[in-house]
Amino acid sequence: MQCRWGSHGDYEIIALVPASVQEMFDLTIEAFNLSERYRVPTMVMADEVIGHVRERLVIPDPNNITIMNRKKPDRPPGEYLPFQPGEDLVPPMACFGEGYHFHATGLTHDERGYPDMSIETQEKLVRRLCEKIRRNANKIIRLDKLFVDDAEILVVAFGSPARSAASAVATARSEGIKAGLLRLITIWPFPTEELEELSKQLKSAIVLEMNYGQLVREVERAVKPTPVSFLPKLGEEPHRPEEVLSAIRRCKG
């Protein structure tokens, strides 16, 4: 929530939430690629448990790693406007040392980068900053689904709680309970449309968080009127699979 709403003014952000040491590596690469592609800060948000986990990491051959470089200007320095977007709403971005002049400011600005606080400029700029992410949300959002196709009880989690949730959901399935797990890998943009569609088949949803209620509000908004149970965890002890399984059983009734 802090990375999403921590600045003044409207904007969109990309935030990735790893659930393993391997994803810490892989999503860091993806964060750079997304940042270069959409010209927007991209956060890798790891919780404390993932930050202290020791497990196997496979570092791929550099030739097998996808690198997405930023869109460069196609005009000479004297004609370059650093904030003039193309059809995808993402302006090309010159690199330092390539001879292009670049003026950066934290204020509302025109396509040259110079401050412009007019209503017209603010309207144009803020809409573009939001729309370049909103229009491409389906390309950006990444989800990990487990037994979701016919799920009637959906567990929604990210980071370390999702590891316990996966075990609990598998056990619930062995008991004949139609439980599923939706693990968020991309937390911003939030997968509202995906949850809205899933809510049509759900009897209830369960949200796991290592805090006292942030993600749960986003889930409630997306799945209304499906009942949502909240399973917070405070302190250093992570969710245990038995706790999650008990919550699933309670939802089954």
pTM, full prediction? 0.92
pLDDT of residue 235: 80
105 or 38, greater pLDDT: 38
Q: What is the pLDDT of residues 57-102, one digit of tens each?
A: 999 999 999 999 999 999 999 999 999 998 999 999 998 888 998 8
Q: Residues 113, 119, 120, 125: is their CA dihedral positive or negative?
A: positive
pLDDT of residue 96: 85
Whether the predicted pLDDT of 228 surpasses 90: yes
| Residue 230: strand pairing partners | 207
Question: Which amino acid appears at position 50 of this protein?
Answer: I
pLDDT of residue 102: 82
pLDDT of residue 23: 97
Q: What secondary structure letter does DSSP report for 73?
A: P
156 or 11, greater pLDDT: 156
pLDDT of residue 72: 93
Look up residue 170 and give its two tokens: 């598998």
Residues in Cβ contact with 3 at an 8 Å cutoff, skipping those fewer than 6 apart: 13, 15, 43, 45, 188
pLDDT of residue 230: 97
pLDDT of residue 177: 97
What distances in angstroms separate CA 239 from CA 49, 73, 142, 230, one per listed residue? 11, 49, 23, 12
Topology at the third CATH level for domain 143-252: Rossmann fold (3.40.50)
pLDDT of residue 6: 87
Average pLDDT along the chain = 94
Q: What is the pLDDT of residues 111-166, one digit of tens each?
A: 999 999 999 999 999 999 999 999 999 999 999 999 999 999 999 999 999 999 99
Whether the predicted pLDDT of 103 surpasses 90: no
| Average pLDDT, integer, range 239-246 | 96
Residues in Cβ contact with 91 at an 8 Å cutoff, skipping those fewer than 6 apart: 39, 71, 81, 82, 83, 84, 85, 111
pLDDT of residue 236: 76
Cβ atoms 72, 93 nearer than 8 A: yes
pLDDT of residue 105: 86
pLDDT of residue 237: 86
Indicate the domain borders of the chain. 143-252
| Average pLDDT, integer, range 34-61 | 94
Look up residue 27 and give its two tokens: 């999503």
pLDDT of residue 9: 75
pLDDT of residue 7: 83
pLDDT of residue 16: 98
Closest by CA to 164, choosing from 229, 239, 236, is 239
Q: Which of 10-14, 134-138, 183-187 has the lowest mean pLDDT?
A: 10-14
